[in-house]
Amino acid sequence: MRDVSIIGVGQTTVAEHWDRSIGDLAVEAIAGARQDAGVDRVDALFVGNMLSGELAGQENLATLVADVCGLLPIEALKIEAACASGGAALRAACLAVGSGAHDYALVLGVEKMTDHLTDGVTSALALAADADYEAAHGISFAALNALLMRRYMHEHRARHEDFAPFSVNAHRNAALNPRAMYRTPITVDDYVRSPLVADPINILDSAGICDGAAALLIAPSSEARRARRPPVRITASTSATDTLGLAERKDPLVWQAVAGSARMAYDQAKVKPADIDFFEVHDAFTIVSVLTLEACGFADRGSALKLAAEGRIALEGDIPIGTLGGLKGRGHPVGASGAYQ
């Protein structure tokens, strides 16, 4: 496999883009990535998206994007992996370029969510849960994560306010990001007084519904010198899965897929957790940050809250997370979030 690098990036501001279509968002992000790289050539397009058919009335999305961006007749594929769609599209591009199948692969993560009321979006998001044993009974992702948070609080004798540093950190970092949706810092008191969504999860535990697109241009590292910007070499890309239904997991507080993929990535890159300078965690809910930090080896089981309380996840800490606001502060346009991160 060839070494691959990111040679250009582009993104829209994450917001409620009432007057723009999913194609409009794609055009802006892709144009930004191509301009940033200073390279015109694109051999393939991988589009990460979760809900275009359900919320935008548009499937066959990758072909649409290739068309509106003037990229026809290149290979164009939509990749759907729920909230991991953007990251899955990046992995597909890495494999395509690394294998030699393509030299220049464009990755786009895009989602348009805000044209529907919250109930409709919540129902659409539930399509990523187990249809027979979870979604059919009306449980939402907020409720599933509330079960996890309540179990974590019970096992580790934690209080809900112990999770506040994660939200405070996300909003503090988002305030420094001009592309973020929520750029107002919050306090612990704001967090504690926030209205409940699914007990014990409140609004400030949860990433917001929004629209956005982020794009990356991938090329062999040997060709990266041709680009306008300093390239970023991708030293590892791995993936793993676990049961879809939460109740089917042996221990719901041990995230086997996260731990397994992290372990493979460390091995591939020849590093260990202590070597990592910052971590763009998928913080759709604060409990997700906690369980992911523990699964990835940054904290022992039950100790991620202590990591946050000590300020170690802040920008000046030893393992900063969500450095541009993460999903909580920047916003979570689900299929695009992996590309933004």
Pairing relationship of beta strands 196-198 and 201-202 according to DSSP bridges? antiparallel
Q: What is the spatial distance between Cα 139 and Cα 132, in angstroms, rounded to a whole number?
A: 11
Contact indicator for 29, 214 with CB cutoff of 8 Å = yes
CA 82 to centroid of chain Cα atoms: 10
Q: How many CA atoms lie within 13 A of 187 on its CB side?
A: 3
Rounded Cα–Cα distance for residues 17 and 29 (Å)? 14
Nearest CA among 92, 25, 30, 79 for reference residue 56: 25
**CA quadruple 220, 222, 228, 234: dihedral positive or negative?**
positive
* Active site residues per annotation: 83, 332
Cβ atoms of 90 and 48 closer than 8 Å: yes
Q: Count other C-beta atoms under 10 Å from residue 278's C-beta.
A: 14
Query: Distance between CA atoms of 73 and 217, rounded to whole angstroms?
Result: 18
Instruction: Give the separation between CA 320 and CA 311, rounded to whole angstroms.
Output: 9
